[in-house]
């Protein structure tokens, strides 16, 4: 039922108990397939750099505003600069079965006044791509944000980055539109595609992720029995 004010104008749903959330903490987030550790360059840089070298070419850097890095020293310097910020707040994704760093992710663009935060700076190495840990890392970050009182969880990417757009939809984000000529990076234009999950979307998505990640959904070789989309449906 639509809410209206004294003049009969439609207005948004009241939020009588709304309290702005705190900035998300720099703490370890643990799952079954992976854990996310706050970025620690001295500890994580060698393994992350080695994992990135497993990619056959540099195409995984195309839609990131930095990289590729020609040397380990250049990469480590960038990690050291990134580790000092709280926005973006960087995490190293550790594969549980190896204990080795396999990728990076971050929270960014915190807007605690409205309870919104974005996920980004995703850099998955070949050790992480298309694995259960890759999906679980995104679930763990979503779950942490909503558990800490956020109302809106965003995903933004270059509108030409088809794999990123497809990943957002698979994970349950809703497409909200394209901001034309939103950025300039690496000497070129970027139209930005916007996706989001809200706290009203989250309960059903959380149930779907939990069912997909359950042990019984994977066979002895670690292959999924049902796709995430099947549980979301």
Give the mean pLDDT per block of 10 residues along the chain (233 residues): 92 94 97 98 98 93 96 98 97 96 98 98 96 97 98 98 98 98 98 98 98 96 94 91
**pLDDT at 141 (0 to 100):** 98
Specify whether the backbone of 228 is left (phi greater than 0), alpha (psi in -120 to 50) or beta: alpha
Report how many domains make up the chain: 1
Flag whether 168 is in a domain. Answer: yes
CA distances from 209 to 103, 146, 148, 212 (A): 20, 14, 18, 5
Domain that holds residue 60: 20-232
CA distances from 215 to 30, 56, 172, 204 (A): 16, 32, 21, 19
**pLDDT at 178 (0 to 100):** 98
* Residue whose pair of structure tokens reads 């901001």 in the numeric block: 179
Flag whether 3 is in a domain. Answer: no
Query: 165 near 193, Cβ under 8 Å?
Result: yes
DSSP state string for 101-160: EEEEEEEEEEETTTTEEEEEEEEE-TTTTTSHHHHHHHHHHHHHHHHTT-SEEEEEEETT
Angle between helices 41-52 and 72-83 (to 10 degrees): 130
> Measured at the alpha carbon of residue 83, what is the angle toward residues 157 and 62, in degrees to the nearest 5?
30
Flag whether 107 is in a domain. Answer: yes
Whole-number Å distance between alpha carbons of 25 and 115: 15
What's the CATH number where 192 sits?
A: 3.40.630.30
Flag whether 1 is in a domain. Answer: no
Whole-number Å distance between alpha carbons of 13 and 16: 9
- What are the backbone angles phi and psi of residue 22, rounded to the nearest 5°? -80, 165
**pLDDT at 74 (0 to 100):** 98
Flag whether 126 is in a domain. Answer: yes
Flag whether 11 is in a domain. Answer: no
DSSP state of 28: -
CA distances from 18 to 1, 5, 14, 115, 206 (A): 20, 19, 9, 9, 22
Query: 178 near 172, Cβ under 8 Å?
Result: no
Query: 22 near 117, Cβ under 8 Å?
Result: no
**pLDDT at 82 (0 to 100):** 97
**pLDDT at 185 (0 to 100):** 97
**pLDDT at 126 (0 to 100):** 96
**pLDDT at 1 (0 to 100):** 77
**pLDDT at 56 (0 to 100):** 86
């Amino acid at each position: 039922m639509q809410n209206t004010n004294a003049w009969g104008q439609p207005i948004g749903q009241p939020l009588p108990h709304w309290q702005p959330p705190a900035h998300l903490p720099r703490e370890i987030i643990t799952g079954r397939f992976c854990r996310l550790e706050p970025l620690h360059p001295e500890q994580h840089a060698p393994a992350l750099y080695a994992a990135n070298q497993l990619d056959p070419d540099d195409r995984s850097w195309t839609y990131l505003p930095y990289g590729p890095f020609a040397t380990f020293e250049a990469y480590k310097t960038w990690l050291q600069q990134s580790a000092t910020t709280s926005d973006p707040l960087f995490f190293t994704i550790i594969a549980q079965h190896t204990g080795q760093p396999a990728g990076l992710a971050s929270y960014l663009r915190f807007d605690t006044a409205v309870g919104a935060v974005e996920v980004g700076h995703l850099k998955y190495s070949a050790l992480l791509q298309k694995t259960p840990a890759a999906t679980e890392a995104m679930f763990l970050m979503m779950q942490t944000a909503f558990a800490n009182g956020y109302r809106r969880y965003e995903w933004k990417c270059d509108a030409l980055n088809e794999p990123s757009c497809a990943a957002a939809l698979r994970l349950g984000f809703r497409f909200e539109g394209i901001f034309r000529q939103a950025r300039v990076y690496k000497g070129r234009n970027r139209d930005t595609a916007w996706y989001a999950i809200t706290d009203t979307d989250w309960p059903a998505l959380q149930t779907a992720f939990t069912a997909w990640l359950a042990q019984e959904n994977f066979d002895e070789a670690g292959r999924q029995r049902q796709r995430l989309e099947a549980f979301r449906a």
